[in-house]
Structure 1
Amino acid sequence: MSKLEKVPATIVTGFLGAGKTTLVRHVMSQAAGRRIAIIVNEFGSLGIDGDLLKSCGIPGCEEDNIVELANGCICCTVADDFLPTMTALLDRPEPPEHILIETSGLALPKPLIKAFNWPGIRSRVTVDGVVTVVDGPAVADGRFADDPAAVEAQRAADDNLDHDNPLAEVFEDQLGAADLVVLNKADLLDEAAVAKLRAEIASHLPRQVKVVAAREGALDIAVLLGLGAAAEDDLAARPSHHDGADDHEHDDFDSFVVPMPEAASAEALLEKLSKIAGEFDILRMKGFSSLPGKPMRLAVQGVGTRFRHHFDRAWAPGEARDGQLVVIGQAGLDKAAIAAAIAG
């Protein structure tokens, strides 16, 4: 790459548990020696997603190529965290040839895109594209897809009604910024459901954007990179519910970390966590646990009551086999009761 060329950056956004980290891992598995840096933004204090990438065993996912920003939502801390990180990457003796930025599930993409116009980096890096990952089964269940017309009708009928739905706004802002929408976990839906979701997603898109179906975030790297969108120069085409606002608040969400005791079996643990998620209306859980006599660490991830697991790496010699779990939900979660249920 010529020193005069801008380094392309791809923003991977999407709601909680949509499959962003898995998609990034697939991209890295196809890098073929290309220098790709990854910036991972966590909501909460435990860097689960960065740890999953570092332990994936894929060349290029080594610790030096992964930067974790865990001090707040990336769209709220661009000056304090994101911009210095970008500058440090670009100032490396061998700067990355492409940068992948995985936002937290609660991030709004547009403030991040705007940050690429800051004088310190505008001449050096460009937003190659915004890839929005959608959890197909979740949206099919109606969990994050409110009907704007119905909301307006309710507000018109009752001026005292609290009609604000921050989850729907986040979802729509992420779609509004997209240059490519990945309808993930499409293998869990039949053809009719996929077709219905495509139409529903298209109704939220402010312009013509390709929607591609995927299983486990597995897409050819050529589909995801090289979009050439220069999104920082195209802000007007990416409307947001928060246009005109200086920032946004995340008071509508809670995130906390709880210890996770050793489990009798992976199946028993997933059954237990699924029950807890349903009882307390938890949006997302992700973390690690240990199993008796097993040398490998068990990674678990859940969206709503749907959970999955895999053994991600061996416990290091002398390492404490202490499990931890990040719990994310809307504000008002009964943290003490949830922690007691997980410990029980």
Structure 2
Amino acid sequence: MTPVSRKIPATVITGFLGAGKTTLLRHVIAQAGGRRIAVIVNEFGETGVDGDLLRGCGAACDDDSIVELANGCLCCTVADDFVPTMEALIDRPNPPDHILIETSGLALPKPLLKAFDWPGVRNRVTVDGVIAVIDGPAAATGRFADDPTAVAAQAAEDPSLDHDNPLAEVFGDQVNAADLILLNKADLLDAAGRAAAEAAIRAAGPRRPPLIETRECRIDPAVLLGLGAAAEDDLAARPSHHDAEDGAHEHNDFESFTVPLPPAADPEALAARLARVAADYGVLRMKGFVAVADKPLRLLVQGVGSRFRHQYERPWAPGEERQGRLVVIGETGLDRAGILAALTA
């Protein structure tokens, strides 16, 4: 057992869908410097993609160090999933030196932080810091509120404003739980876009964590690890839209489903088709893998709104079925039949 005097530090990585959380994890793990790092990945939806991505990042990412908790947001399944997982990690003969926790893009961080006060966890693990990864271009265009200008003005007059838009609530809660904000994809912003993104972040609530601009979440792990925040001890300083509800929120604001994808002939044409479908049907996020005809490598496809990127991620394993799959995430009411027909036509 880990001595009480030496708590294992844990870093919570939060952020909206597609902001770059998994990319950040890959960078940190790849630069572990000999430290034993365990990773807990939580995804919203029935098909885990992020854990698969992490396992492909090299020798530092062995299966025993990555725990994937799919099909349930950690903020809603603390007792059933998170606490037993943490206890299993810290009870190992050689417990990790540091634990990284990637939350779902739809998760509220505060209920998860409260879980570090559970008896089996509190004396052995501390929240070293909460990192919020923000998609710079998305924040700059007000993707988290119906009218970001009006919301910012109202927030300035009434800091206790309760946002009606669930996306704004998620964004605000993630920012206000953070000890450090990474404004990612900063290379896609001009000066005006950068100012708009920062204004959206600052309008999210009263907390003012330091902000660092990143490109593809490239940052020295020494900047992220060792913050010593002990976030579990200052929850009152991390306001949430749902404090009055003890951190609860309804995930029926969002839904996800998985679409099987046949092999693609042209990655560029596939990305363009996905972008059109996302725009036509109001999809928030798509991510997954697909086989490309005559190519031995698996293609990773990721999109936020109608903005997509793709890259060959790893070779298909011997005997692995070359079956593509795509997770589609959006607000409740998605036209599943229409999306499925458009993607598989």
Q: Same fold by TM-score, threshold 0.5 exceeded? A: yes
Report what 1:292 is aligned to: 293
Specify the alignment match of 1:200 in structure 2. Answer: 200
> How many percent of aligned residue pairs carry the same amino acid?
67
Q: Pairwise mapping of residues 314-333 of structure 1 onto structure 2 (< 5 A)?
A: 314-333=315-334
Distance in 2 of aligned mates of 1:254 and 1:93: 39
Number of positions where the alignment pairs a residue of Structure 1 with one of Structure 2: 336
The alpha-carbon distance between structure 1 residues 134 and 332, as it changes in their structure 2 partners (threshold 3 A), is: same
CA 275–232 in structure 1, closer or farther in 2 if over 3 Å, else same: same
The answer for the alignment partner of 1:6 in structure 2 is: 7
Name structure 1 gaps, 5 residues minimum.
Answer: 155-162
Aligned equivalents of 1:62, 1:153: Cα separation in 2: 48
Match of residue 159 from structure 2: none
What amino acid is the match of 1:85? T
Moved over 3 A (4+): 145-154
Q: Helix, strand or coil for the counterpart of 1:293? A: coil
**Per-residue deviation, 1:140:** 0.8
AA in 2 matched with 1:200: A
Q: Is this contact kept in 2: 1:206–1:237, CA < 8 A?
A: no
User: What amino acid is aligned across from residue 183 of structure 1 in structure 2?
Assistant: L
Report if aligned partners of 1:263, 1:290 keep a CA contact under 8 Å in 2.
yes
Change (3 A) 1:173 1:147: farther
Q: CA RMSD in A?
A: 1.9
Distance in structure 1 (CA, Å) of the matches to 2:148 and 2:261 = 39
Aligned to 1:228, what secondary structure does the other structure show? coil
Q: Is the 8 A contact 2:8 2:124 kept in 1?
A: yes
Aligned position for 1:71: 71
Structure-to-structure mapping, 1:1-344, within 5 angstroms: 4-57=5-58, 59-145=59-145, 150=150, 164-246=164-246, 247-344=248-345
Give the unaligned 5+ runs of structure 2: 155-162
String of CA shifts for 1:240-278, please: whole Å, max 9, x gaps.
Answer: 000021421111111000111111111111011011111
Change (3 A) 1:228 1:48: same
In 1: Cα distance, 2:145 partner to 2:136 partner = 11
What amino acid is the match of 1:285?
A: M
Q: CA deviation at 1:148?
A: 7.7
Deviation at 1:152, TM superposition (A): 11
Q: Give the superposition deviation at 1:20.
A: 0.3
For residues 281 and 12 of structure 2, the distance between their equivalents in structure 1, rounded to whole angstroms, comes to: 32
Q: Could you say if the C-alpha distance between residues 203 and 152 of structure 1 is closer, same or farther in structure 2, counting changes exceeding 3 Å?
A: closer
Task: Provide the C-alpha distance between the structure 2 equivalents of 1:299 and 1:37, rounded to a whole number of angstroms.
Answer: 24
Contact 1:10 1:101 in 2 (8 A): yes
Contact residue 140 and residue 193 of structure 2 kept, 8 A: yes
Q: Distance in 2 between matches of 1:298 and 1:20?
A: 19
Aligned-pair CA distance for 1:282: 0.4
Distance 2:169 2:39 in 1: 26
Rounded to whole Å, the distance in 2 between the matches of 1:130 and 1:96 is 18
Shift of 1:136: 0.4
Q: 1:324 is matched by which residue type in structure 2?
A: R
- Aligned partners of 1:145 and 1:171 also within 8 Å: no
CA–CA separation in structure 2 for the residues paired with 1:44 and 1:200: 28
Compute the TM-score of the two structures, normalised by the length of structure 2: 0.93
Residue type of the alignment partner of 1:141? T
Give the Å deviation of 1:190. Answer: 1.3
**Structure 2 contact 145–151 (Cα < 8 Å) conserved:** no
Structure 2 Cα separation of the partners of residues 38 and 72 of structure 1: 17
**Does the Cα contact within 8 Å between 2:142 and 2:148 map onto a contact in 1?**
no
Per the alignment, residue 160 of structure 2 pairs with none
- What is the rounded CA distance, in whole Å, between the counterparts of 1:334 and 1:46 in structure 2? 19
Instruction: Report the CA distance between 1:150 and its aligned residue.
Output: 3.3
Q: CA 1:121/1:306 → structure 2, altered by over 3 Å: closer, same or farther?
A: same
Matched residues in 1 for 2:198 and 2:71: separation? 35
The verdict on how the C-alpha distance between 1:227 and 1:135 changes in structure 2, with shifts beyond 3 A counting, is same
Deviations 1:173-231 (A, max 9, x none): 00110100110000000133223422432233423310000000111101111110000
The superposition leaves residues 48-76 of structure 1 with CA deviations (integer Å, 9 ceiling, x where unpaired) of 0000000122x321111100001300100
Query: 1:300 is paired with a residue of what secondary structure?
Result: strand
Give the CA deviation at 1:2: 6.1
